[in-house]
């Protein structure tokens, strides 16, 4: 836990940095990274994330699609089998069905393995997964999701899907 000292009157006060945000109540607090070394999504600006109900179980690093389920926007794993399941972002954490899922459409996401640095990353035909060899089947979609910044990190840059 990250700690810091402040002066209040003539006393020294030991404080704790916050690693998650409850909103306005946490204004002007010092931020600490979590156990994974990253800043918690609740501390990031709204423009980088959107929260929607998980329509299925999601795993950390899944490429996801936001879809209409009877008038409710929900999140499911994306795949390259059709335009309707194209990727719209990634989730950094696991989410069970009906739990809130935090979807990121920009930034850097880590935890992958074996990526070729500098090469593009595409949506895979396997639900939720990425590949560096884009799908080529008739009716599949070709969608670049970003580029590998390291063997384990992807800089998210989601492009429009193209039906093959």
pLDDT in tens, 129-143: 999 999 988 989 999
Q: Quick one: pLDDT at residue 47?
A: 52
Check if the beta carbon of residue 21 is closer than 8 Å to that of residue 49.
no
Q: What are the Cα distances from residue 120, in Å, to 57, 89, 123, 149, 159? A: 27, 16, 10, 10, 11
pTM of structure: 0.72
Q: What SS3 state is found at 71?
A: coil
Mean pLDDT, range 59-67, rounded to an integer: 97
- Under the banding of pLDDT at 50, 70 and 90, the label for residue 17 is confident
Burial class (CB in 10 A: 0-12, 13-18, 19+), 42: middle
pLDDT-wise least confident of 74-78, 86-90, 104-108: 104-108
- Under the banding of pLDDT at 50, 70 and 90, the label for residue 45 is low
Bridge-partner residues for 74, per DSSP?
53, 67
């Amino acid at each position: 836990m990250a700690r810091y000292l402040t002066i209040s009157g003539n006393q020294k006060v030991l404080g704790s940095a916050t690693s998650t945000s409850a909103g306005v109540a946490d204004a002007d607090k010092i931020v600490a990274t979590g156990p994974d070394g990253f800043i918690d999504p609740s501390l990031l600006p709204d423009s980088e994330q959107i929260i929607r109900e998980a329509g299925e179980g999601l795993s950390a690093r899944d490429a996801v699609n936001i879809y209409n389920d009877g008038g409710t926007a929900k999140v499911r794993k994306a795949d390259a089998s059709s335009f309707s399941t194209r990727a719209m972002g990634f989730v950094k954490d696991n989410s069970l069905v009906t739990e809130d899922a935090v979807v990121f459409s920009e930034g850097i996401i880590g935890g992958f393995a074996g990526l070729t640095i500098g090469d593009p990353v595409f949506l895979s035909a396997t639900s939720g997964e990425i590949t560096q060899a884009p799908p080529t089947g008739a009716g599949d979609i070709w969608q670049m999701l970003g580029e590998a910044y390291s063997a384990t990190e992807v800089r998210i840059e989601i492009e429009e899907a193209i039906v093959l």
